[in-house]
A and B are shown apart, each in its own frame.
Chain A
Amino acid sequence: MKEPGSDIFFAGISELNAMLRAKQVSAVELVRAFGKRLEGLGPRYNALALPLTEHAIRAARAVDAEIKRGRLRGPLQGIPYGAKDLLSVSGQPTTWGARPYADQVFDYSATVVTRLSNAGAPVLGKLAMVELAGGPGYRFASASLTGPGLNPWDPSRWSGGSSSGSAIAVAAGLVPFAIGSETSGSIITPAAFCGVTALRPTYGLVSRHGAMPLSWTLDKLGPFCRSVEDCGLVLEVIAGSDHQDPGSAGKSFYYTPQYARKLSELRIGFASQDFAESADESARAAFQQALEVVRGLGVQLVETKLPDYPYDSMISTIISVDAASVFETLITSGRVDQLADQKQIAGLKAGLEIPAGVYLKAMRIRRLATQEIFKLFGDLDVLLAPSRRGPAPAIGEPLDRHPDRPAPQNPGLTSLIAAGNLAGMPALSLPCGFAGKLPVAMQLAGLPFSENMLLAIGKEFQSRTDWHKRKPPTTG
């Protein structure tokens, strides 16, 4: 077998798996090629927390032996991947992106890592992240043990967070897919800024056992991939019941695009101003064109908006209280001051002071808001909005500074990230164009466990566009 060519770095999972089965490339060769690239380019973008190439080569050898014996496990067999550094890999450092945990080692692996291992996918490296997955909030992109995540499309821009390394590594062709996490926006945001496809699954569909907790009723794990189809393939492996996760929904997921409803039957709710005046000016043309592509799918587009609730206040309160409780020892010991971001340090300390009544009020309104959001789906199947209002901000720009323009009179679906997370809804982020040289994306969100519907719409969108196939100029 000859050494694999550079075309493999942006190939999809099915393509790579076909090459493995046809013995055009071995699993070891695939791991070596991606490992070299991840270790070479990963640090350039501050995307790599820990290389595990040797560990992955051992796993790949076993895969090659299996393939030789004709034991085929499924489409992920022999496909290396990266794991956000909040997922434990037995015996390896798991830093949570934070200095106080730089030497932390667990003696067990996260359930998603085990599931992927059982499917024959070797973990190639731990990927960088914002410290403590952003905790109750951070001000600067530099809030990470590995430095700011640099965007492969323009390294003077931020990658987005908190799953920075997961998005960078997929965008730059350093891994075929990666696993990240979202509490409120940590999958959707970096996927949008780096121009990759990613899925935030329904709360409880993917076990969080072995993942750093941040907010018990909000944390979710999901895939970053080259395409919608790859997201479906990865989700099928990582989803499933787990008694070790108290939030587990006890459900499996089977990717079944063949059983998707006819697109002409689907009613998609959107707010036209989200794609116009509420969006950054530089991104409006791309959003408008993407909206027209969606319209061209034959779906019914229906104007809608989220019920009027203080989503940001709710989610901020819940995360602040949960995070302060999770990291109480870190805070009271004073080691919290070792974190990189002053806003996060202060937010964690202040979180301990939030009265129980305020937390309960947030959780009561959450129930009310969730009920009202779900009522929208009496008339609609899916919600559609820009993933973020515009492209990635510059490195060094304060992330908590709001644009100098008045809030839109009709908020439309601009709070869909917070609202969708509060309601446990799945969301799919799809690259949908460019603002200058930076990618922008839109998100589809649906009722819990509607992943197959989101994937079906997304797959059709990607069959008519090539935004997800674009390669960053700096990655070769």
Chain B
Amino acid sequence: MNKKKMTRRQLAGLILTASATVAAQTTGSTPSSPVEELEAARAHIRHTSDALAKVPVAIDLEPAFHFNA
């Protein structure tokens, strides 16, 4: 198995970013840097992906690609 090495600085950065993202999600605070913004956007995508994953769909259900109202 491949072990990915991480420096202490990278680890600290990751923890800080994760904390900021969690804080932004739970307190509604505004991300204060582009890095935090990107993490918040990714967290939002995870949140929406999770919501979509909970919806069961039949195996023969096709996506609405050729969309016509």
Contact = CB atoms under 8 A, between A and B. Distances in A.
A353 B37 CA distance: 15
Contact of A358 (B37, B42, B44, B52): B52
Interface in B28-46: 28, 30-31, 34, 37-38, 40-42, 44-45
Interface in A287-322: 309-310, 312-314, 316-317, 320
A71 interface: no
B6 interface: no
A442 interface: no
B63 A367 contact: yes
B64 to A, nearest CB: 4
A448 B65 CA distance: 17
Contacts of B41: 136, 343, 346-347, 349-350
A332 to B, nearest CB: 15
B11 interface: no
Contacts of B47: 313
B53 interface: yes
Interface in B1-45: 28, 30-31, 34, 37-38, 40-42, 44-45
Interface residues of B, number: 28
Contact of A204 (B34, B42, B68): B68
B63 A366 contact: yes
Contacts of B64: 217, 363-364, 366-367, 370
A281 B9 CA distance: 49
Contacts of A398: 30
Contacts of B48: 310, 312-313, 316-317, 358
A82 interface: no
B55 A309 contact: yes
A346 B55 contact: no
B42 A365 contact: no
Task: Give the interface residue-count category, chain A.
Answer: 35 or more
A342 B45 contact: no
A365 B52 contact: yes
A432 interface: no
Interface string A245-258: 00101000000000
Interface in B54-69: 54-55, 57, 61-65, 67-69
Contacts of A355: 49
B69 A204 contact: yes
B62 A364 contact: yes
Nearest to B35: A346
A314 B40 contact: no
A424 B67 contact: yes
A437 B67 CA distance: 41
Nearest to A251: B69
A262 interface: no
A424 B69 CA distance: 5
Contacts of B34: 337, 342, 345-346
B57 A365 contact: yes
A203 interface: yes
Given A401-B28, A448-B69, A317 B52 contact: yes
A202 B68 CA distance: 10
A385 B38 CA distance: 34
A472 B26 CA distance: 39
A362 interface: yes
Interface string A204-234: 1100000000000100000000000000000
Interface of A: 136, 139, 202-205, 217, 247, 249, 309-310, 312-314, 316-317, 320, 337, 342-343, 345-347, 349-350, 353-355, 358, 360-368, 370, 398, 401-402, 423-425, 448-449
7 contacts: A139-B30, A203-B69, A310-B51, A364-B63, A365-B55, A366-B63, A398-B30
